[in-house]
């Protein structure tokens, strides 16, 4: 049998180019991020940092003792920051709820009380008005005791929604309460500047092309989380926190049957009050129109890029460091939409993570200004889950870089 040495040399050159490009991306990330020094602590405010998870997020202990949303299996980001003197707390909201519902849950998770999604909102979307009763992780929250919101992925959108609701309230809920003689929940009354800053990390401010694949990937994303947590899929204990939609686990119901019932629920279809809509470009555009910036609040954004441009095309391809679960969406985004939408972190296009279209912004220049987005340079080589230490293949190598990343955020927050 003959051997085509010309073909072999060509394939070897292509493979070598592929590995060199990805090695360069990883090396650049190490140089740019890994060498960051911890900043000196100086206090101008003592407001706590409230961490808000994104899509499929969970609280510590929900997927077993080995996995944290903020730190994966290699570190405890929130605990480490608190131990260093930066008060930091984890907020837990629905992993699949709409940004409105999640914002309401976030309010009560911080302040405490029975979750009230709003009478007008509940009637409009056909779910229960009230949710769980929560003790509150910072019940003294007020204009005198403000907070810094740090949101990863959808957590950034949710934080923006809450900030706007606190300041502007909801005219729809106010009018509905007056017309029906109802007491208006405090969150809908407005005039509350309770947020000092918002840091949006790898947030799809303008949506993502991959949202159209989300329904098909839903099972894989959940099962992937179980795999990372080293749990059995059948025995997976996962709290969807969609009680308002009737998706509670019944007494005696097996975990497997519960998951099957959740996945087959009509809530995922033709419903704008759910995450699968909010992450589309259309849903994100509506959110951008509903949210605003305050001259009293600082807004920061971070983006990552874990793709490289094809040699003979305008497509972008996932680097070898991308977690396998996100290679397919990374490649899909890299080949979809206009050229400016193709660089991505595996789930979110770079252009979407920079700032919400239509809102004021400026590139980072060492002088953050309240009332506009302060856009940090895109971190080359970091994929979506590297930002929270959940890419178990990369987490051990990026552990120090991730620590420095959050250290720098909370140091800056304290100085505001």
Domain ranges within the chain, ordered by starting residue:
41-415
pLDDT of residue 221: 56
Structure tokens at 21: 């490009």
d(Cα 414, Cα 416) in Å, to the nearest integer? 6
Q: Sheet with 88-91: list strands edge to edge.
A: 88-91, 49-52, 147-152, 195-201, 298-302, 373-375, 361-363
pLDDT of residue 41: 44
pLDDT of residue 260: 79
Residues with a known catalytic role: 153, 345, 384
Across 92-162, the runs of DSSP E, i.e. the strands, are 113-116, 130-134, 147-152
CA 407 to chain centre: 19
DSSP state of 128: -
Let me know: does 395 contact 26? Beta carbons within 8 Å: no
Instruction: Dump pLDDT digits (tens) for 349-408.
Output: 999 999 999 999 999 999 999 999 999 999 999 999 999 998 878 888 999 999 999 999
pLDDT under 50: residue ranges of the chain: 1-42, 225-234
The pTM (predicted TM-score) of the whole model is 0.87
CATH topology for the 41-415 domain: Rossmann fold (3.40.50)
Q: What is the DSSP string of 252-289?
A: T--HHHHHHHHHT-GGGSS-SSBHHHHTSHHHHHHHHH
CA 74 to chain centre: 19
Structure tokens at 354: 């920079």
Let me know: does 55 contact 154? Beta carbons within 8 Å: yes
pLDDT of residue 28: 38
DSSP state of 314: S
């Amino acid at each position: 049998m003959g051997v085509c040495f010309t073909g072999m040399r060509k394939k070897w050159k292509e493979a070598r180019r592929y590995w060199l490009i990805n090695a360069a991306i990883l090396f650049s990330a190490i140089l740019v991020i890994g060498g960051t020094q911890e900043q000196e602590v100086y206090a101008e405010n003592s407001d706590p940092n409230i961490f808000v998870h994104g899509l499929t997020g969970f609280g510590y202990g929900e997927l077993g003792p080995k996995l944290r949303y903020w730190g994966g299996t290699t570190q405890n980001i929130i605990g480490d920051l608190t131990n260093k003197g930066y008060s930091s707390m984890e907020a837990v909201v629905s992993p699949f709820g709409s940004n409105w519902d999640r914002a309401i849950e976030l309010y009560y998770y911080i302040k405490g009380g029975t979750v009230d999604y709003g009478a007008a909102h509940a009637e409009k979307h056909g779910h229960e008005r009230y949710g769980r009763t929560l003790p509150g992780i910072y019940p003294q929250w007020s204009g005198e005791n403000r907070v810094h919101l740090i949101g990863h992925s959808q957590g950034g959108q949710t934080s923006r929604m809450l900030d706007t609701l606190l300041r502007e309230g909801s005219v729809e809920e106010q009018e509905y309460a007056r017309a029906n003689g109802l007491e208006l929940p405090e969150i809908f009354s407005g005039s509350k500047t309770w947020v000092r800053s918002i840091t949006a990390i790898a947030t799809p401010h303008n949506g993502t092309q991959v949202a159209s694949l989300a329904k098909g990937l839903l099972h894989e994303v959940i099962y992937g989380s179980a795999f990372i947590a080293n749990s059995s899929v059948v025995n997976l204990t996962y709290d969807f926190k969609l009680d308002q939609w009737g998706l509670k686990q019944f007494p005696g119901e097996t975990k497997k049957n519960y998951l099957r019932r959740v996945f087959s629920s009509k809530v995922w279809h033709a419903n704008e009050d759910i995450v699968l809509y909010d992450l589309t470009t259309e849903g994100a555009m509506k959110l951008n129109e509903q949210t605003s910036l305050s001259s009293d609040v600082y807004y920061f954004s971070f983006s990552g890029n874990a793709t490289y441009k094809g040699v003979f095309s305008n497509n972008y391809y996932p680097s070898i460091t991308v977690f396998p679960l996100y290679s397919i969406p990374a490649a899909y985004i890299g080949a979809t939409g206009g050229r400016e939408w193709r660089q991505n972190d595996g789930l979110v296009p770079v252009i979407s993570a920079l700032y919400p279209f239509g809102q004021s912004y400026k590139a980072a220049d060492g002088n953050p200004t309240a009332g506009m987005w302060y856009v940090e340079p895109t971190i080359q080589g970091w994929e979506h889950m590297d930002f929270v230490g959940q890419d178990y293949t990369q987490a051990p190598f990026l552990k120090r870089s991730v620590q420095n990343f959050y250290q720098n955020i909370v140091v800056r927050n304290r100085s505001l």
